[in-house]
């Protein structure tokens, strides 16, 4: 069974993330969506809120597992026998950071490959940060995130 890990903060999950999840399932038997608990970042949503949003917007089959993780991604990949780490590339500007991380992960977990996937063109400019900025000012985010996420962002920013 080919297992891949798709890591990220998912703060919040966007339609671009969901597109990469769909693409990952075309390539791998099982996908672990690993929500990073990074103490250096200040997420808008708690770990439990992000977990709930990701679970609610992904296939509930046995092909997807959603979890919170902290620590090194390479260690998680080894523990879960993942053959791949999925990372999204939206633009050339993403490549330098992602390339550096892929090389380090290869060094730490040589049996795990990093697979770069490009989202559908209409999602290439999306990021969770941009979505939060638009939502903060009550902008229209309906085309960028699932309905549940839109509602939670409006609640967070006091528009509901």
Catalytic positions, written as ranges: 17, 41, 90, 128
The two structure tokens encoding residue 98 = 């992602």
Cα dihedral 127→132→137→141 (10° resolution):
60
Distance CA 39, CA 51 (A): 16
Distance CA 23, CA 129 (A): 22
Distance CA 157, CA 72 (A): 32
CB burial of residue 107 (10 Å; 0-12, 13-18, 19+): exposed
């Amino acid at each position: 069974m080919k297992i891949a890990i798709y890591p990220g903060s998912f703060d919040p999950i966007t339609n671009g993330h969901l597109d990469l999840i769909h693409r990952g399932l075309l390539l791998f038997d099982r996908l672990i969506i690993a929500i990073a608990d990074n103490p250096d970042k200040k997420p808008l949503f708690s770990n439990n809120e992000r977990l709930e949003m990701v679970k609610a917007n992904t296939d509930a089959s046995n092909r997807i597992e959603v979890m919170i993780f902290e620590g090194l991604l390479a260690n998680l990949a080894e523990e879960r026998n993942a053959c791949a780490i999925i990372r999204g590339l939206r633009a050339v500007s993403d490549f330098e950071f992602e390339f550096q991380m892929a090389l380090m992960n290869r060094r730490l977990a040589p049996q795990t490959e990093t697979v770069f996937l490009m989202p559908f063109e209409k999602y290439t400019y999306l990021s969770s940060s941009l979505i939060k900025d638009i939502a903060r000012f009550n902008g229209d985010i309906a085309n960028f995130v699932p309905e549940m996420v839109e509602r939670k962002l409006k609640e967070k920013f006091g528009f509901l």
